[in-house]
Amino acid sequence: MAFKEAVFLLLLFQTLNREAAATHWTYKGVEEWAEESPDCAGKRQSPVDISEPKAFVAPPFLFKNYGLINVSLQNNGHSLSVRLHPQQEQQRPRLAGGGLSGTFDLDGFHFHWGSEDSRGSEHLLGGCAFPAEMHLVHFKENNKTAPNPYFCRYKSVKEALKYDDGLAVLGVWLVPGRDSDSSAREDLGGGSTSDSDSKSTTRKTLEDDGTSDSDFKSTTRKTLEDDR
């Protein structure tokens, strides 16, 4: 499926509920989630509807090692999940800048889409959804507030979840390009699960036009204001 990126990139600082129930859930009745889990009563919740008064132009992001990377693909019956291949872990793609409090290593990325283009993305812009959304999940390289940051390096997403600033999820809204293949959506949306090894050029989606260096910048058009 050919996609072109939307002009908005959404930066999410995500604190996940580590004790979430294994029951089925939807985005209906979001305002009632706090009745089941007090953690859902905060100001940094998902999904997010970005409105113009709370949006601003952010500093550029700095991407490193976002070239051709080895990944493993999995259709888990719910989404297309892309994880770094073990041989890629020694040279993980990294994200910095953009208002982040440090450097974050890529763990993997996944996609959200729907049966209709009008409700595919998880997050909204002015109440409107996009056909699809990609989430690139990063965990913080190390804890700069610790006495010795070297020994507090987060080695995985699981470890980073223990800290409020442990994760940075970069969301990219996607819209179909002119050469989109409608059958690809059906292939991805199937209920069966599968695994495969592949290579992914995340750079092509994220880089600015004309940039060829291994370290490159991509300007976020709008990002959610930290309203804590």
Q: Is the per-residue pLDDT at 208 higher than 80?
A: no
Q: Per-residue pLDDT tens for 79-115?
A: 788 888 877 777 889 999 988 888 888 988 988 888 7
Q: Which of 24, 66, 78, 123 is catalytic?
A: 78
What does the H/E/C string look like for 52-112? HHHEECCCEEEEECCCEEEEEEEECCCCEEEEECHHHHHHCCEEEECCCCCCEEEEEEEEE
Token duo for residue 158: 């699981």
78 is catalytic: yes
Q: Which two tokens stand for residue 136?
A: 């690139």
Q: CB atoms < 10 A from the CB of 109, how many?
A: 24
36: left (phi over 0), alpha (psi -120 to 50) or beta: alpha
Alpha-helical segments (H) within 165-212: 182-188, 202-206
State the CB neighbour count (10 A cutoff) for residue 145. Answer: 11
- pTM, two decimals, is 0.65
SS3 128: strand
Task: Tell me the average pLDDT of the chain.
Answer: 68
Residues 17-31: pLDDT tens digits?
Answer: 333 444 455 666 667
CB 9 within 8 A of CB 183: no
- Please answer whether residues 11 and 99 qualify as being in contact, where contact means their C-beta atoms are separated by less than 8 angstroms: yes
Report the alpha-carbon distance of residue 142 to residue 103 in Å, rounded. Answer: 8
Pick the CATH number of 3-224 from 3.10.200.10, 3.40.50.300, 3.40.50.2300, 3.50.50.60: 3.10.200.10
81 backbone dihedrals φ, ψ, rounded to 5° = -110, 135
* Active-site residue, selected from the candidate residues 66, 112, 123, 154: 154
